[in-house]
Amino acid sequence: MFTGLIETTGRIDALDRDGNGGRLRIETSLSPELTPGESVAVNGVCLTVTSCTDTTASFDVAPVTLEVTTLAHAVPGGRVNLERSLRAGDRLGGHFVLGHVDGTAAIRSFEPHGDSFWLELALPGSLAPYLISKGSIAVDGISLTVAELAEEHFGVQIVPFTRSHTALGHAKAGDLVNLEVDVLGKYVARLLAVRLEGHDAGATTLGVPDAFARVLSGDLP
């Protein structure tokens, strides 16, 4: 489990594909402090350290991870956000982030906005039911607050510190990012969907977002 507060960034050294999976090697200042078996969020993706040197850390990447995250597009020299797992007793400055990416989205725009920056991203329809205004979302592992929510996009405010201390400093329109919605919202959606299934036998064919939408629309007595 993570908090979405990025510790540092790393530089991709290599992604060696092996069949459908791969081995990701990252150059990072954290490597002397890492041990094999430890969990690290890499751009919001929970990965396990398989080996490390004084300058690099390596991770096995499963085929399904490459299918559903931006790691499939990793190229040498690319910057990634890094966060070690939360320890019991640590301050929780962001929100609960599991490192289980729900989908990817394209950056629509990333522009200065007063003293800060405005980041606007496309909103995948499958994730729309889980976002709320002023709610939390992880973008490439960064804990952010939904400042604007529309039908096909959402916006977040990026303060200068976040831009300069994360991989967002290199982000631009058209880039893909990993999204993880708030886990609390996913559990609420699932519980409401199960409730709806119990009320309407035909609802068992619905996906959780569809069932959630019916509950929100008042389609329950």
Whether the Cβ atoms of residue 3 and residue 92 lie closer than 8 Å to each other:
yes
Q: Among 7-11, 86-90, 166-170, which is the least confidently predicted range?
A: 86-90
Round to whole Å and give the CA distance between 47 and 202. Answer: 38
Same-domain pairing of 166 and 208:
no
Domain boundary among 24, 50, 84: 84
Give the pLDDT of residue 220: 52
Per-residue pLDDT tens digits for 117-129: 999 999 999 999 8
Please compute the mean of the pLDDT values over residues 89-97 and round it to a whole number.
87
Residue 203 has pLDDT above 50, yes or no: no
Give the pLDDT of residue 190: 81
Same-domain pairing of 66 and 14:
yes
Confidence of residue 201 (pLDDT cuts 50, 70, 90): very low
Active site residues per annotation: 2, 39, 46, 48, 62, 100, 145
For residue 194, being part of any structural domain is answered with yes
Q: Among 82-91, 96-105, 147-156, which is the least confidently predicted range?
A: 82-91
Q: Among 50-59, 61-70, 207-216, which is the least confidently predicted range?
A: 207-216
| pTM summary value | 0.87
Please compute the mean of the pLDDT values over residues 200-215 and round it to a whole number.
51
Give the pLDDT of residue 91: 82
For residue 21, being part of any structural domain is answered with yes
Whether the Cβ atoms of residue 113 and residue 157 lie closer than 8 Å to each other:
yes
Q: How many domains, the chain?
A: 3
Give the pLDDT of residue 210: 60
Confidence of residue 216 (pLDDT cuts 50, 70, 90): low
CATH number, domain of 114, equals: 2.40.30.20
Structural domain including 140 reads 103-183
Residue 218 has pLDDT above 70, yes or no: no
Contacts with 197 (C-beta within 8 Å, 6 or more apart), sequence order: 203, 204, 206, 211
Confidence of residue 205 (pLDDT cuts 50, 70, 90): very low
Distance, C-alpha 172 to centroid of its chain: 17
